[in-house]
Structure 1
Amino acid sequence: MSTTAHEVRRWGGTAGLLLANGLVLVFCLAPFGWMVVSSLKPPAEIFDNRLLPANPSLVNYAAVFGSGSDFTLALRNSLVISASVTVISMVIGVFAAYALARLKFRGRNLVLGFFLAMSMFPGVAILSPVFQLFADWGWINTYQSMIIPDVGFSLPLGVWVLTTFFAAMPWELEAAARTDGATPSQAFRHVILPLSVPGVFTTAILVFISAWNEFMVANSMSQTPDVQPVTVAIAKFTGVSQFDQPFGTQMAAGVVVTVPLVILVLLFQRRIISGLTAGGVKG
């Protein structure tokens, strides 16, 4: 009886865990699923609240990429901005995190706390003075007016994550490289940096996604389609015709913007999980 009761409890726990995971999965995927369904509905059916479109149509996707649409240009702008933010944040973040993790100095924890506090600082509080500053410099409607604030928003969290990762790495390997005659820079390039690839890769993906989804700064700094990213372009979509509400085209554009991020995460999920959980080399 005790064995049977134990098996019942084990199967009950497994079923409960699967049910909980299923509910979380449905909760996370339901908005994206509804966005896909809505994007396939023609304008006449957009508000019928059916779970599946009665007459599936690609008319919304045609409107997104149709003549007169600047969506392709917006995709390019988002790619340029997000890639630039990621590269700059990673170059600065790797060196800053390595120094904070490796060097022991007074106020180190205070500096780390400062980085964490910066990541929680509301961006809207500095939007007006930054806009005025960039206006004085003639930077409004330029890439740098969006790249620099995005770096400021993403870098603190990146430094915090990378510092935790570097701190968990076996420093004995660096000491061994130094003993063999390697300089500090050589030990960093040939020993520490290769071992930090999972953590750097994970942080880079998080920074890229954050920059790709940013709207507040981009909406204020970009005033023409020449530099507008996709988040701003979607907000300014019109309908399939001038009398339609733009919900269908917005949903279609949202699908187009979201799918690359989903594919990116699915392709590199093992690296992401490794970077978030390993914190160093495995023994």
Structure 2
Amino acid sequence: MNKRAGIGFYLFLVLFVFLVMFPFIWVFLTSIKPPSEIFSSFRWFTTNPSLDSYEAALTNRPLLRYMLNSFVVSGITTVLSLAFASLTAYAVTRLPIKGKGLILGIVLASSMFPQIAIISPMFNLVTDLGLRNSYLGLVIPYITISLPLAIWILSTFFQKIPFELEESAKLDGATPFQTFRKIIFPLAAPGVFTTGILVFIAAWNEYLFALTINSDDMWRTVPVGISMYQSEFSVPWGDISAATVIVTIPIVLLVLLFQRRIVSGLTSGSVKE
């Protein structure tokens, strides 16, 4: 009976993984089909695989420039968000501040506003500052939408660190900032790293602000750049599929490279000692 249950579990696991991976598998198989075969046949595999779509994706649009823009904007957003969020989370969880619950509640409430509700004032702000078609013009709104999430997640990790360590540091004459820098932050490193990955991916995939603020083609990010492949009379699905595969590879490699740290951060503090 246990053997049958084990086989059933693995069959369910294989089916579940297949359903999750199906969109990515289909996009990849579409990207290697000749353009004429994409619409004429619904077969899974092509008998004449081709890399023409990848060449067209890299030459018809400045895809590498889009990727560079996304890397720069997402990287700056991640660094600044983690810097501000870690200090804020430390203050509201470890320092004697009144109204901590209210502060965290306001932070959580601010993250619930839909982007479309703040796009107009944010657009006016960036325009008045003369930051349209620039990296900083996207970093500012990206921080506004990623900072509340980062603060909330890091607050959870900081709360799980024993307060005895902080009290020992105070007895040794350490200042609050020294305690944060030498004790709290290193112990919360798995959570900080996981939060950074989440912020980076969210900034990488953001579309609305990137579409509105950076209208110059050389300043567009990956999601907006891929949407520009379609023309007035046709949609080059082969080029779009190839571009999707190309821009997904860095994110997949990033997650695979740091998967242990991500899992460590997600499970940090989940076991009560």
**TM-score range normalised by the length of the shorter chain:** over 0.9
Taking structure 2 as the reference length, what is the TM-score of the superposition? 0.92
Alpha-carbon contact 1:238-1:249 (below 8 Å) kept: no
Letter in 2 for 1:272: I
**2:91: which partner in 1?**
99
Determine which of 232, 243, 250 is the counterpart of 2:240: 250
Q: Report the CA distance shift for 1:77/1:175 in structure 2 as closer, same or farther (over 3 A).
A: same
Q: Report the CA distance shift for 1:281/1:189 in structure 2 as closer, same or farther (over 3 A).
A: farther
Alignment partners' CA distance in 2, 1:31 and 1:193 = 38
Determine which of 33, 52, 56 is the counterpart of 1:59: 52
Q: Report the CA distance shift for 1:117/1:12 in structure 2 as closer, same or farther (over 3 A).
A: farther
Deviation at 1:16, TM superposition (A): 4.3
Alignment partners' CA distance in 2, 1:26 and 1:120 = 33
1:167 aligns with 2:138: no
Deviation at 1:267, TM superposition (A): 1.2
1:196 aligns with 2:209: no
150-159 vs 68-77, which moves further = 68-77
Deviation at 1:69, TM superposition (A): 3.0
**1:113: which partner in 2?**
105
Ranges in structure 2 where 5+ consecutive residues have no aligned partner: none
Deviation at 1:13, TM superposition (A): 4.3
Q: Summarize deviations over 1:188-216 as a string: whole Å, max 9, x none.
A: 21111111110100000000000001111
Letter in 1 for 2:242: A
Alignment partners' CA distance in 2, 1:224 and 1:266 = 33
**2:214: which partner in 1?**
222
**1:209: which partner in 2?**
201
Q: Aligned to 1:188, what secondary structure does the other structure show?
A: helix
Alignment partners' CA distance in 2, 1:174 and 1:71 = 49
Q: Report the CA distance shift for 1:99/1:19 in structure 2 as closer, same or farther (over 3 A).
A: farther
Alignment partners' CA distance in 1, 2:150 and 2:156 = 10
Alpha-carbon contact 1:165-1:280 (below 8 Å) kept: no
Q: Aligned to 2:244, what secondary structure does the other structure show?
A: helix
Alpha-carbon contact 1:195-1:281 (below 8 Å) kept: no
Q: Aligned to 2:219, what secondary structure does the other structure show?
A: coil
1:140 aligns with 2:140: no
Letter in 1 for 2:139: I
Letter in 1 for 2:115: G
Q: Report the CA distance shift for 1:116/1:27 in structure 2 as closer, same or farther (over 3 A).
A: farther
Alignment partners' CA distance in 2, 1:22 and 1:159 = 36
Deviation at 1:60, TM superposition (A): 0.7
Alignment partners' CA distance in 2, 1:110 and 1:19 = 47
Letter in 1 for 2:206: E
Deviation at 1:29, TM superposition (A): 0.8
**2:261: which partner in 1?**
271
**1:4: which partner in 2?**
none
Alignment partners' CA distance in 2, 1:13 and 1:115 = 45
Q: Summarize deviations over 1:86-109 as a string: whole Å, max 9, x none.
A: 011000010011111112433211
Taking structure 1 as the reference length, what is the TM-score of the superposition? 0.89
Letter in 2 for 1:210: A
Alpha-carbon contact 1:164-1:279 (below 8 Å) kept: no
Alignment partners' CA distance in 2, 1:14 and 1:213 = 38
Determine which of 169, 177, 182 is the counterpart of 1:177: 169
Alignment partners' CA distance in 1, 2:116 and 2:12 = 36
Alignment partners' CA distance in 1, 2:72 and 2:272 = 36
Ranges in structure 1 where 5+ consecutive residues have no aligned partner: 1-7
Alignment partners' CA distance in 2, 1:88 and 1:44 = 46
Alpha-carbon contact 1:73-1:225 (below 8 Å) kept: no
Alpha-carbon contact 2:31-2:241 (below 8 Å) kept: yes
Letter in 2 for 1:212: W
Q: Summarize deviations over 1:208-245 as a string: whole Å, max 9, x none.
A: 00000111110111111221111111000158xx9763
Deviation at 1:165, TM superposition (A): 0.4
